[in-house]
Amino acid sequence: MTKRLYNFFPSGGGSDPSISPNFLPQLQAKCPQNGDVNVRLAIDEGSEQNFDVHILKNIKEGFAVLESDARLNDDIATKNVIDSYFSPFGPMFEPSFEADFVDSFVRMGQIDVKTGFLGEIRTVCSQFN
């Protein structure tokens, strides 16, 4: 979070330009530049206790806490998916975000997990052992 708020790459400094100027001071207050790196933030500002489409609204409006969430709005394919949940006809003719999320989670659970000699537990998530 510190890099996203104070030394964002590729801009070479400053904050991630995808963060709303109305949200940036709140994040910086919770995460000062040399503050405690163990501070926890709600990833869905304004709807912390509910699982709902509000997180997508935050992403659209520049209030994404996680950089990975913010990047969803940068790609045209994922931006179109986000926008589809806010279509005037969406609630009547399209599945809801919540229903789609449940469906995708069930499908992910059916992915063949490799175990034993076929799999590996990474010591660093972003690197092969």
End-to-end alpha-carbon separation of the chain, Å? Answer: 26
Does any domain span residue 111?
yes
Read off the pTM.
Answer: 0.75
Where are the alpha helices (H) located in the chain, listed in sequence order? 2-6, 24-30, 54-60, 67-72, 76-84, 90-93, 97-109
Which CATH number belongs to the domain containing residue 83 in this structure? 1.10.420.10
pLDDT tens sequence across 38-72: 888 888 988 888 888 999 999 999 999 999 999 99
SS (H, E, C) 72-100: HCCCHHHHHHHHHCCCCCHHHHCCCHHHH
Residues of the binding site:
44, 52
- Residue 83 belongs to domain spanning: 2-118
Q: Which residues are annotated as a binding site for Ca(2+)?
A: 44, 52
Q: Is the pLDDT of residue 110 over 90?
A: no
pLDDT at 91: 61
For 7-41, what is each residue's pLDDT tens digit? 898 767 789 999 999 999 999 999 999 888 888 88
Arithmetic mean of pLDDT, 120-126? 81
Please check whether residue 127 lies inside any domain of the structure.
no
Is there a domain that residue 126 lies in?
no
